[in-house]
Chain A
């Protein structure tokens, strides 16, 4: 567990290297993943993270504490990554966010309107027998998600940010965040199911 924000900020301001190293090691992995959603290469993502930390070093003197330190750092990251993404002509239209339509489970899995039980499972999902490859399958499914879903699932489920934090970082509404999270999770589950050879 990291110390409270005021302790961290005081450490950064006074030049305490152990504090800085601790933050670097705690947050950089999830920052890399987040950056990677906006730019086209791993090398670009690493530069975005580097530029973000440099901006944090320069800017922490002016940190007001209006948000958590981590949210403040991630906002800098998102802005840096977006600028870079625009340069690379790779933009994620977060601002014109509309939920991707359509059901998250293939409608053919459910009984039709003429059935005695419309909208209920044709056949229940098959039980899963999970082997060592499960993690690999999940990782690949995450990589294949549409960008906005991948960003939200990564922040929430891989990195463990709260809904409020993710909404603040990405400047999206709670409802939009939940839609993207649900669609992404459902797609990962479906990918696993398909891999395991259940009904696709």
Chain B
């Protein structure tokens, strides 16, 4: 496996979606290649940071309107 091939398989590896043989090659490459180890680390850091992005929120007006609609919905 080359580095050029490795970088295209990172998400599949993280998802556990590689077949057994390719995963073995991927891990073997990772063990020997500091450049790809760093690439994988940076990929993981990027994913972790995406998970920290602040949430957007509904405006207070919309939230109030929806709560009112819920309250007033006719139920049997």
Q: Taking beta carbons and an 8 Å cutoff, which residues of A are in contact with B?
A: 13-15, 17, 20-21, 24, 28-30, 32-33, 46, 49-50, 53-54, 57-58, 103-105, 107, 110, 118-121, 123-125, 127-128, 130, 134-135, 138-139, 142, 153, 157-158, 160, 163, 174, 178, 181-182, 185-186, 188-189, 192-193
Contacts and interface: CB of A to CB of B under 8 A. Distances in A.
* Interface size classification for chain B: 35 or more
Contact of A182 (B12, B36, B70, B71): B12
B20 interface: no
A128 B4 contact: no
Interface centre among A14, A121, A142, A185 (most CB of B within 10 A): A121
Contacts of B57: 28-29, 32
Given A128-B45, A135-B53, A138-B50, A104 B62 contact: no
Contacts of B12: 178, 182
B24 interface: no
Given A119-B5, A127-B38, A158-B50, 10 more contacts: A28-B63, A32-B56, A53-B66, A53-B69, A103-B4, A104-B7, A105-B7, A105-B39, A134-B49, A142-B53
A171 to B, nearest CB: 19
Given A21-B67, A24-B63, A135 B42 contact: no
6 contacts: A20-B66, A29-B57, A33-B56, A103-B7, A110-B4, A123-B35
B43 A185 contact: yes
B8 to A, nearest CB: 6
B10 to A, nearest CB: 7
Nearest to A36: B56
Interface of B: 2-5, 7-8, 10-12, 15, 17, 33-36, 38-39, 42-43, 45-47, 49-53, 55-59, 62-63, 65-67, 69-71, 73, 75
B62 A46 contact: yes
A110 B2 contact: yes
A102 to B, nearest CB: 10
Given A24-B63, A110-B2, A104 B8 contact: yes
